[in-house]
A and B are shown apart, each in its own frame.
Chain A
């Protein structure tokens, strides 16, 4: 793209230039209609980013309106930098999950690092101190040549950025599947703690208030990251887009956190927003839009990293670690003194004006004069056609007779434990500082991460989840299961789910099949959230996740936050004591579709995903939480990928607990494979001391909920007997070794 000239008038806006900015002819005509004149090149750049899919949500917005966003404890729903939920004691948690997929595929280390940085800024702009990071990562299959490189790069990026800022990375999930070969997913979650009456919003209110630029100097990096990189699919030219990936500086981020939290203590701070996607452009327009004001800025005052930058570049740069504050006049020096203390660049670059416009001056000349509403709200909601994809007819019908059942399950058990979707993620989380700040009560490797809230009795549990294979086979059901399972995970740690944030990763929305997947998944998620009474308080949509026409599986990742009222009643998944009884809450059905077992043993991603009976799910969760609150059980673990046998094995060798064997004695009319490895929903494996049996059984009857004793903790082996016949017997240390080392062995191999 030709660089625009420094002085107006700029080059004539040709159809070619419009196209290079990712705008359609219709969109360009709409711009002409809305502002009544042709935009100059800088203004065209502004429209191009603000109307991009990434910033405008033009394909997804009509559907997102269907998600439940309200609840008695919701202090801030979607629309701000992050959602906020009241947790009592005068405190609230702010949280959000966000994607950084495309940058991470092109440049994994910086892409992932800046994803972490961006989500953290979304949290502390709300006035909250970030206390926990999690992430959901999806890579291609292990044999894909780039997978190992991407895995190392992404983990290294998250590790280097998160560790340096002193915010612990306490949990997450990682999946490998061929559908991500050409488009990995990096979704980063952050949660912060804030006083309920000190939440900051991103509004530029109060005419005459000063606009304060804070943080790193602006450079030429990341220009058009949002509009051209995040809002189109990958093809042969993708490598050339590397310069649109930003470079992160976690040290500056750490200083920004501390400086901003200090500024938030001052009553003359009016509003603040991160300069994220679309940089100075989106932050100024959106802040003015929220407060129904206007903004005047002089770009000559913006701290720059290099000489000769023109307004077009300054406005569209996505240089990281920058914030825009609005402060009351007369307090500029106090603000600058605080920022100087932390060694940060800062400058007053403009002020809030009454006229609902953004007016931008550079070297004494006006270079932009655009009305707010057309830019922020002008992108038309697209009513993209949706159509059920043809592939579904081919993949959902499977007959179990195609898959011979086994009489010994040892081989399948070992193969599943070694499969990277199930194997221990120790190689990954050992690279993350998961302890700093001394709040982590449950370290990585259990169903949910648990953090204490200092100076209270409370704790917070967090789980990130999505089984995208289920979503591929049935996006409605798959998304509902993601909600149910994330809730089940936090319930297993003793928490009550209080809120949800989502990151909706899909393919190209211009294709009707993709829109259908999107629409189904959002409906499934919305229905499940309504049923479980969990508000969706924030989220992010990432479309165009496809390469050369091949889309990823629909991946509507959810993060559920739960509240534990009593820190002493935190539960973990590991068995605690030899002699404890093992029981299953819920029951197992003859379901094998979409399972990890079918994928690992038969290389098939087919069949109907498990059925979710929401009412039953809720009973199971309520019962489990009740058992934990009453102090009756020693462990609780959600049954998910790999089914019952894997869940029990994981409880035998959970991190932080001693390794213990287990014996399961099952009676069943089901096939052995479905009984051991089927992924029927709404099941939780618990263990408890022998003497509690009657009490727990009585409670289960009264509830009522399905409940069965299935075995005993202890011994040096993991043994499963079905209808009197031994189906599995393995030394627990052998199984543990397979599970513990598999991912690290893969990562450590050189190609």
Chain B
């Protein structure tokens, strides 16, 4: 799988994504600089990493969507290319209208960094195909604006079309207000577009994919992607 990792000014999980894809999973991995449009035809996966693009002084991701590279990525996604946005990358995908809804401040109004459980809701996507039935994954979150919001009508539509991929849950897979760390509607932690080729998620799978660190549940998302090619 040929991967491209976008570097916005302020990206700070770019090196972590690179480390996992290149050194742990041995995939061909390249950097993509935000200032230039790029020909992405030969790429299989584009990753928008976590961080604070442009400082996130406005809304998270609001400036990054205007980067030249985003024109190329929007074209790539429209043509069916696979795009994974993690944390700030998810925020950029929403701001770019590649995914529906918005991410607002956590209910606690605080940054939250901790391990959480998420339940995989749809196995029939390129991002989750290896996850197994009712699988609960332990993946860390680290964000300040991670509370997903969308109107109830659209939320229903997302559910019906199988676009919700991850929901926050407890270790048994039960969904409740207590297991929702940031107040996201429907406990949504990650979703995909209708075509199922663009995915955004707040938890950081790259933080639990190196066997030397605690937990490797995040690997399964990257493995699922690799298995498409």
Contact = CB atoms under 8 A, between A and B. Distances in A.
A432 interface: yes
A572 B16 CA distance: 24
Contact of B55 (A159, A250, A443, A454): A250
Interface string B181-218: 00000000000000000000000101100101110000
Closest 3 interchain pairs by CB? A166-B12, A251-B55, A164-B52
A163 B52 CA distance: 8
Given A435-B204, A436-B50, 5 more contacts: A251-B9, A254-B52, A431-B113, A436-B207, A454-B19
Report the interface size class on chain A: 20 to 34
Given A251-B57, A432-B113, A441-B213, A342 B12 contact: no
28 contacts: A159-B111, A163-B142, A163-B144, A164-B10, A164-B52, A164-B55, A165-B12, A166-B12, A166-B13, A250-B52, A254-B52, A255-B9, A430-B113, A430-B114, A433-B113, A434-B113, A435-B140, A435-B207, A437-B16, A438-B19, A438-B20, A438-B206, A438-B207, A438-B210, A438-B213, A443-B214, A454-B19, A656-B214
Contact of A431 (B15, B35, B110, B207): B110
Contacts of A656: 214
B214 A438 contact: no
B213 A166 contact: no
Contacts of A434: 113
A429 B26 CA distance: 33
B8 to A, nearest CB: 11
Interface in A587-630: none
B52 A436 contact: no
A166 B88 CA distance: 12
A665 interface: no
B111 A160 contact: yes
Interface residues of B, number: 31
A501 to B, nearest CB: 25
A343 interface: yes
A254 B16 contact: no
Which of A164, A341, A441 gathers the greatest number of chain B CB atoms within 10 Å?
Answer: A164
B152 to A, nearest CB: 29
Contacts of A341: 35
A440 interface: yes
A156 B109 CA distance: 10
Interface string B105-120: 0000011111000000
A159 B108 CA distance: 14
Interface string B145-177: 000000000000000000000000000000000
Interface of A: 156, 159-160, 163-166, 249-252, 254-255, 341-343, 429-438, 440-441, 443, 452, 454, 567, 656
Contacts of B20: 438
A429 B114 CA distance: 9
B54 interface: yes
Interface in B53-93: 54-57
Contact of B113 (A252, A343, A435, A454): A435
A160 B20 CA distance: 26
Given A251-B10, A251-B52, A567 B111 contact: no
A26 to B, nearest CB: 47
Contacts of A342: 9
Nearest to A343: B9
Contact of A433 (B9, B54, B111, B210): B111
A582 B185 CA distance: 46
Contacts of B56: 164, 251
B51 interface: yes
A58 B19 CA distance: 48
A166 B51 contact: yes
Given A166-B13, A251-B52, A452 B212 contact: yes
A251 B54 contact: yes
Contacts of B9: 251, 254-255, 342-343
Contacts of A164: 10, 12, 52, 55-56
Nearest to B34: A343
B34 to A, nearest CB: 10
A725 B185 CA distance: 54
Contacts of A452: 212
A431 B140 CA distance: 13
A397 to B, nearest CB: 45
Contacts of B12: 164-166, 254, 436
B10 A436 contact: no
Contacts of A250: 52, 55
Nearest to B20: A438
A254 B35 CA distance: 17
Nearest to A452: B212
Nearest to A160: B111
Contacts of A441: 212-213
Contacts of A443: 214
A251 B53 CA distance: 8
Contacts of B16: 436-438
Contact of A254 (B10, B114, B212): B10
Nearest to B142: A433
Contacts of B210: 438
A164 B87 CA distance: 13
A250 B9 CA distance: 12
Contacts of B52: 163-164, 166, 250-251, 254
A432 B15 CA distance: 19
Nearest to A252: B55
B92 to A, nearest CB: 15
A454 B213 CA distance: 12
Contacts of B50: 436
Nearest to A426: B114
